[in-house]
Structures are given as structure tokens and as C-alpha cells.
Chains A and B, each alone.
Chain A
Amino acid sequence: MSNETSATTTRRGQAPRGERIADWADGRLGIYSLAKSNMRKIFPDHWSFMLGEVALYSFIIIILTGVYLTLFFHPSMAEVTYHGSYVPMQGIRMTQAFESTLNISFDVRGGLLIRQIHHWAALVFLAAMMVHMMRVFFTGAFRKPREVNWLFGFLLLVLGMFTGFTGYSLPDDLLSGTGVRFIEGVILAMPLVGSYLQFFIFGGEFPGHDIIPRFFTVHVLLLPGIMLGLLVAHLILVFYHKHTQFPGAGKTNNNVVGMPLLPVYMAKAGGFFFLVFGVISVIAAVASINPVWAIGPYRPDQVSTGAQPDWYMGFAEGLVRVMPGWEWNFWGHTLNFGVLIPILIFPLVLVAIAVYPFIESWVKGDKREHHILDRPRNVPTRTGFGVAWLVAYFVMLIGGGNDLWATHFHLSINSITWFVRIAFFVGPVLAFIATKRICLGLQRRDKDKVLHGRESGIIKRLPHGEFIEVHEPLDQEQLHLLTQHEQPAPLELGPEVDENGVERKLSRSQKLRAKLSKAYYGEDNVIPKATAEEYKEITSGHGHH
């Protein structure tokens, strides 16, 4: 170390200080090689690429504010009588977890703000991940080589949901305690092991004294630790794969067009962090969230009406609420399907979207890398599936708030429940059909625009009295954009008999694959794009209009 110092001292005045520090770091960390490929890395520009950034930044905000909250929060279920500064709660028995949450809100200056930033950022985090995932889904950004990164992102979403749940359970207020009781009921419903699991997880009978400290460990250490690892891996892969880009002039599958990380994206992305943080701070200043002081401490025999989980759990809540109460009793045992089935459907719906990329690549037999994003209309089957999934999700979100729908819109809770039950099955099918038709309509319009130009809005009267609208031909960029997508023919199984007249054996999976392939590329599922010949014939022939 002392040699190092003397060596740099002799060089003082030759190289600037920053460079000497960089040299020092490079000799130990190899930062120059790292910077060579990354410092001027090109990132394409599009507003929808910011959605993932919102998720990333809200995660950082959650970690920063969360660390602050741990300085004041006591994850203990020991009972105390409140004597703090919030008068309406004085003299009331509560756990230390609830008491310290009140202290953070009323006695720590700025504590309420940080608590509210933490909670708001969690809601934004989950929403941003969800919308980011939809962007990736509908544009086909999950295709090779990004399938693994899609799974990382999916895991982040699922873990984020459970981190959120364990987090809002910590204050041990009447609302969140009700959520924990729900979890107890779910665990009890597990066949064979349910009651044992419940006693192990809660350290005895509900509520016991262990669940809040255990949730605390899971919430501040276990889940965020895993998420941080996944997040770093997610970002490394984004750098390694280089970002996808939307089709357009000059953009190919073999290049990435945009602006360099240093300085443009350093400034834009770095600045965007402050924008997200600033907006969430203002929200936390003006909009109260989870006012536990108005809800009161948890007691197993009390409950408030309008009990709702945070929005990202509303989908699971809906499944639980609208499920009929089926229960089987046999040979001295009980199977509680009323709870079990929703708890199984919940992960299945999530997994359906998670495995979709692998199904699509199998159907298409596609082994190439894809860096140009799809326009959703050009892949009607995928777009239809995505919208169907979203409809199922939002129908269940309605189910999760059925009591609020009933009270706010003066509807019968029974009819809402029945609507949700039916719409969960029918809605996605209708959405799929409608979306596909809209996509095909848009494809037709694209073709029309390529061949006949865009509507100019100018009406012209011809000498013989006919009125026509003047169409303006598209420029080269537009023509390229509207025709660059691929339209492969569907997979063909070949003749049913071979040349010797013997029936060919086809595995069931191959038949399924051919059928699904037709659903992607078959005649009814794609509008053949304008060909160069069609275009030339129309543009060179009679006067075009």
C-alpha cells in the first residue's frame, strides 16, 4: 500500500487525479475492459422501455425506505398498553409491532412520510412489473435469447407479491391480521399436512407470538435477498443481450439503434430515478395509505368491513371469494375444495403466462434470435392470448372487490359473484376472439395503406362528377415498417399416407403442434401482407387515388 502511494506521488502532476484513481481500480478490478464494451453501449429509445425502469427504481426506493423503517419498527407480538402521543389509541392493548408502527407514524419526524413512500412504492413496483411484463409479452420481447430473462422477471413479480403481502402484514393492524388469518385458513385446507404446517408456521395456535417476527425475517431478508440477486441477473442479461428495438428504418435484427449509455442514458435513466422518487414522495405527502391508526390493532374476534388486500393480491382474493363452498367429508377427513381450488388456480394462471414463451417457440419451431419487436397486430394469436389472460385477471380483480362493487354501485353481491364466475370462463374466450379480429382488421388496414396510401382528407371532384378522396402514397420508411414482418406458412404434417400407401404415424403432440401452428399462421389467422408485385401493379398502372 505504501509503495502504491509513493508511486502515485511521483507521478503527481502527470495524470489527472480521476485517471489515477481509475488506473488504480483497473489494476485490481479490470474496469477498463468492462467499460470498453459498456460505457458507450447503445440503448434504443421508446417510452415503453421505461416501464421496467419504473419497477427498478421503485425497488431501490423500497429498499432505501425499508432500511430506515427497520430502525424504528419492533417486529414483536408482545402485548403492551399504548401510551403514545396518538390520543384515540391510548390505553388500548396492542402488540409491539402495532405500537411501533404508531410511533413511526406519530412520534418519529418524517416517519410517516417514509412509511407512506415505502407502501406507495410497493404498489407502484408491482404495477410497473406487471405493465412491463405486458409490454414484453405483447411485443414478443421474450423470444430467444431472452426466455430465461422472462422467467427471472416472472419470478420477481411473484416474489414481489409475497414480499408485499408479508410487508403489509407486519403492522399487525386489524386489516392485515385478517389477511394473516386468511393465510391460516388456507394452510389448514392443505390435505394431510395442513394442521401440522399451521402449527409449525405460526409456532402454535393462531395467532401465537411468532408469525410477525417470522414474517419480518421473510420480508426484510429472505425475499428481498433473492429478489436482489434475480434483479442483478435480470439487468446483466439486459446488457448482455442488448436491448430489443421496434422495427423501423435502419433497424435490423443484427444491429441496435439508439443513443449511448454515456452520456445520454446515464442522464435520462439516472434522472428518471429521481423523477420516480420525486413523484412517489409527493404522492406520499398528499395521499394517505394504510392508516393503521384508523383501523386499530388486530384482535381475532374483530373485523372491519370492506376488508381488501393490496391490489396485487386482489386477483387471488377474487378466486377465493367467488369459489362455491365445496367441501368433501370422507373416512373422517375433510377436503376443503372451496379454499383448495382457488389456491391452485392462482399459481396456474400465473404459470400460464410464464410458460407461454416456451409454448410459442415450440409451436413455431423457431430457433433464431429475435431482437426486432413484433407489432402486436402482426401476431394475433399471441395478442389474443395476452388479452384473454388480462381479462381473466381483471375479472378476478372485480371478484376480489365484490363487496366494494356492491356498495359503491348499489349492486347485489350475489349477482356480482355470479357475473364473475361466468365471466372468468367466458370473458377470456370472447376477448381472444375480439382481439384477434381487431388485429386482423389492423393488418388489413396496414395492407391497404401500403397499396393505396394514406387518407389525406382531401375530397376531389372529378370532371364527370364523382367524388374521390385523395390518397397520399407512403414514404419509404412507412412502407418498410408496414411490410417488414415475417409471415411464414404454417407447419405442414405432409400427406397422411407415405409413398407406399401406408398410413403414417404421427404423434399426438405433432398433430397438436400443426393445429397450433395453423392458429398462428393459417389462412384465417393472418392477412397476407402486400407484396412488391401488388404494389408495383397498383402504383405503376392507372392513375392511383
Chain B
Amino acid sequence: MSETGRHEDVPEETLPGERETAHEGAVATAENPFADPGLPPHEHRAQDIDDRAARRSERTVALLFVVSMIATVAFIASYVAIPIEQNVYIWPLGHISALNFALGLTLGAALFCIGAGAVHWARTLMSDEEVADERHPIEAAPEVKAKVMADFAQGAKESQVGRRKLIRNTMFGALALVPLSGVVLLRDLGPLPGNKLRTTNWKKGVRLVNQSTNLPLRPEDIAVGSLTFAKPEGLEEDDEEFAEKIAKDALMLVRIQPQNIKDKHELSWSHEGIVAYSKICTHVGCPISLYEQQTHHVLCPCHQSTFDLSDGGRVIFGPAGHALPQLHITEKDGFLEAASGFEEPVGPSFWERG
């Protein structure tokens, strides 16, 4: 121990785990009052000494197995007899599918009773005497290790891998390159992004169509205090790429008293106090759907990012990193239409967004 000072590293024998402790493998002696008394004597259960108790256990186990059989028969009967569309009222669950309820309960009972029977059998009738097994160290004995090392050295020598460096290096090279084929094959998983993350279907002159009525929106359709959802004209539900398009184009409109619009730029892009914003949250792309009419705040129900629609769609709470993009709208022939496309990408941020 006094040698410790000379070494830069601490020798292993001073480490706590390496020190022997007094109780390792202790035997009961008068010297040590805390010595291991050894396994306690086995205590007999009622079933071990009383044959009537044992037979009672036997009957219980058999009864459980019989109940299981009955439950399986009931399962099959329910499957055949109960129509799939039938609902029943079951307190306190309410109106639920009768078939699901019957099948689940009978299957559950059939399985549970097998389990309960087996466990009861094990606990009451099978021997419950605890026995000790020896453990052997996991690591091999030194001579085994020596044999393995010698075998390995011989194998390595016979392969000449250490001597013939050219073979070894070219083999490593080949093995390192060959997975590249697999990586290359992944290229056709999808197209390149191109400018698809930056563009939507909004452009100058595209009318705003009410999402729920499928009719072009007039300014008077937008009531104070309500949130209206819109899509670009010409985008229909049964279009080939409807989902991809609406995932970018979805719009929400609110009417705010022009004097309450705090952001000048927002005011200039509005029409009679009607402002149009992208519905797609700039955090991770959930559609925003909750509107607080007094404050003109909208909230994304996924992660609670909150935006102020009276102040340029600014983030006022939550994890979103930037304001909601606004769409410049105007009126033509009594209908609302886009005065231009979105000037910035909608939806969540990405590396090239800038």
C-alpha cells in the first residue's frame, strides 16, 4: 500500500471492490454473531401432511381447468351466436359491442383459469423445498484461456494474415467498399426535394374556397370571432395529390378590426380586416385549429405553440421557432383571392429554409 505514491495510476488493490471483506463466505461461529445461519429448515404445508388438504387442492386445480374448458366452449358459442353489430348496455361500461365483450371475457377466463390452476398446483402440491445449486465463475479457467489463445495464434499464423499484408489490406478495402452498393440502392426511396418545400399552390389570382362548403369565399362570409378554413380553388378531395397539396395549402382566415391589427405589414396584406395565415404550424406541421376570439391568438393542439394573428402571426408561446406565414389577399368580383403566393415556406423549418 505504501507503494501507491510512486504510481501515476492507482493500483487495483487499493480499489474498494478488490478488498476482501470479513463476511465473504462466513460460517456460523461463536465469534461472529452475524454469521449466515444457513438455509432455514423446510416447513411443511398443510397439503404435505394432510391428505385431505392435498385432495382439496387437487379438486381446486381440476375445477379451474374445467372452468377454462367451459369458457372456451362459451367463447365458441359467443362467436357463433352473437351478431357482430349487436350492442349491449353493461354497467358501468355503457353501450359496448356484445361480441367483443363476450369473446374477451370468455377468452380471458379460459386463459386465466389455466394459469391459476397451474400456479395453484405448483404452490400447493409440487414440492416447495428450497434447494441450493452451486454457481461457477463465468470466466474460463486459465488453462482453458491458454488453450484458446494458442489455438487462435496457430490459426492466425496458418492463415498468414499477419505476414501477407497485401492480402489483408485489399481484403479490408473490399469489405469496406461493398456495403456502398446497398447505400446507393437506397437512392430511389424518394425524389430530391427540389423547391417543393418552398412552394404551395397559392399564386396571384387563385380564389379562396371555403373548406367546409366548398364555395368561393366572399369577404362577408368571414364573421368576426370565427376561424374559417380555406383551400385554393381547383383543389378537390379526390385529386390525385390532395393530401400532399392540402398539407401545404391549408389556410385559416379571421376578421380583425383594422385598428386592432398591430403589424403594419400584416395590415397591408389584409382585406377589410380579413387576414389569411397558413394553417400549418411552423413547429412540426400540425394544423392549427384553436382560436381565441378576444385576443386573436391561435393555438396548435399538438404542442401548444401560440401565435398572435393580430401581430404578424408572431409566436407568443410554445416551441415554434418562427411566425406563421401570411398570405396577401385581396378582393376581385366580390370574391377573396390571393394577391400573390406565400413569400416564405410554410410549415416546419428545414436546413435550407434560411
Q: Find chain B residues with CB under 8 A from A190 CB.
A: 351
Within 8 A of A (CB), among B272-300: 279-280, 283-287, 289-290
For A502, give the chain B residue with the smallest CB separation.
Answer: B5
- Evaluate whether A275 and B319 lie within 8 angstroms (CB atoms) in the complex, with A264-B122, A307-B302, A493-B10 already known: no
B173 contacts A by Cβ under 8 Å: no
Cβ-closest chain B residue relative to A499 = B5
A498 to B105, CA, bound (A): 76
Contacts of A281 in B (CB 8 A): 104-105, 107-108, 111-112
Closest-by-CB residue of B relative to A250 is: B39
| A229 lies within 8 A of chain B by Cβ | no
Query: Which one of B11-19, B44-52, B158-166, B329-337 contacts A?
Result: B11-19
Which A-chain residue is minimally distant from B128 (CB atoms)? Answer: A259
A448 adjacent to chain B (CB < 8 Å): no
B residues within 8 A CB of A178? Answer: 286, 302
Q: Which of A188, A278, A339, A490 contacts B108 (CB 8 A)?
A: A278
Determine if A254 is an interface residue (Cβ-Cβ < 8 Å). yes
Are B319 and A320 interface neighbours, CB within 8 A? yes
Asked if A527 is an interface residue, CB under 8 A from chain B, the answer is no
Among B17, B130, B246, which residue has its beta carbon within 8 angstroms of that of A300?
B246
Q: Which of A23-31, A195-203, A425-433 contacts B (4 or more CB under 8 A)?
A: A195-203
Q: How far is the CA of A335 from the CA of B211 in the complex (A)?
A: 33
B residues contacting the other copy or chain, number (CB 8 A): 119
Contacts of A510 in B (CB 8 A): 8-10
Per-residue interface assignment for chain B, residues 21 to 52, with 1 indicating a CB less than 8 Å from any chain A CB and 0 otherwise: 10111001001111111111000000000000
Asked whether A85 lies within 8 Å of B85 as measured between CB atoms, the reply is yes
Select one of A182, A192, A204 contacting B302, CB under 8 A: A182
Task: Check B260 for interface membership: any CB of A closer than 8 A.
Answer: no
Q: Are B350 and A334 in contact (CB under 8 A)?
A: yes
Chain B neighbourhood of A273, CB < 8 A: 115
Contact status A252-B36, CB under 8 Å: yes
User: Is A327 a contact of B238 with CB atoms below 8 Å?
Assistant: no
Known: A271-B122, A492-B14. A417 touches B304 (CB 8 A): yes
Pair A504/B301 contact, Cβ less than 8 Å: no
Partner of B350 from the list A188, A326, A371, A402 (CB cut-off 8 Å) is: A188
Q: For A189, what are the chain B residues with a Cβ–Cβ distance below 8 Å?
A: 284, 348-350
Chain A, residues 246-261, CB within 8 Å of chain B (1/0): the string is 0001111111111110
Which of A104-112, A159-167, A346-354 is found at the contact surface with chain B? A104-112
A335, B36: Cα distance in complex, Å: 62
Interface residues in A204-221 by Cβ distance below 8 A to B read 204-208, 210
Among listed A3-11, A133-141, A462-470, A474-482, interface-contacting one:
A474-482
Assess A268 versus B34: contact at CB under 8 Å? Given A241-B138, A250-B39, A369-B137.
Answer: no
Q: Which of A117, A301, A403, A483 is within 8 Å of B246, CB to CB? A: A301
Question: Is B327 interfacial (CB 8 A cutoff)?
Answer: no
* A251 / chain B contacts, CB cutoff of 8 Å: 36
Give the shortest distance, in Å, between A262 (CB) and chain B (any CB).
10
Contact mask A112-132 → B, CB, 8 Å, 1/0? Answer: 110011000000000000000
For the complex formed, measure the closest distance between the CB of B79 and the CB atoms of chain A, giving whole angstroms: 6
CA distance A303 to B110 in the complex (A): 41
> Is A242 a contact partner of B133 (Cβ separation < 8 A)?
yes
A282 within 8 A of B: yes
Who on chain B is nearest to A477 by CB? B37
A479 in contact with B350 (CB, 8 Å): no
Known: A79-B238, A301-B246. 20 other contacts (CB 8 A): A106-B84, A251-B36, A256-B133, A268-B118, A268-B123, A275-B112, A275-B116, A275-B119, A301-B280, A324-B319, A326-B321, A334-B354, A339-B284, A369-B138, A413-B304, A417-B304, A417-B317, A486-B23, A504-B5, A517-B16
Query: Can you list 27 A-B pairs with a CB-CB distance of less than 8 A?
Result: A79-B238, A109-B99, A182-B284, A185-B285, A189-B349, A263-B126, A275-B116, A277-B115, A282-B109, A285-B103, A286-B101, A300-B247, A301-B247, A301-B287, A303-B287, A324-B319, A325-B315, A335-B351, A339-B284, A480-B35, A483-B23, A483-B34, A486-B23, A488-B19, A494-B5, A495-B5, A510-B10
B residues lining the A interface (CB < 8 Å): 4-6, 8-10, 12, 14-19, 21, 23-25, 28, 31-40, 79, 84-85, 93, 96-97, 99-105, 107-119, 121-123, 126-135, 137-139, 186, 189-193, 196-197, 211, 229, 231, 237-238, 241, 243-244, 246-248, 250, 279-280, 283-287, 289-290, 301-305, 315, 317-322, 347-354
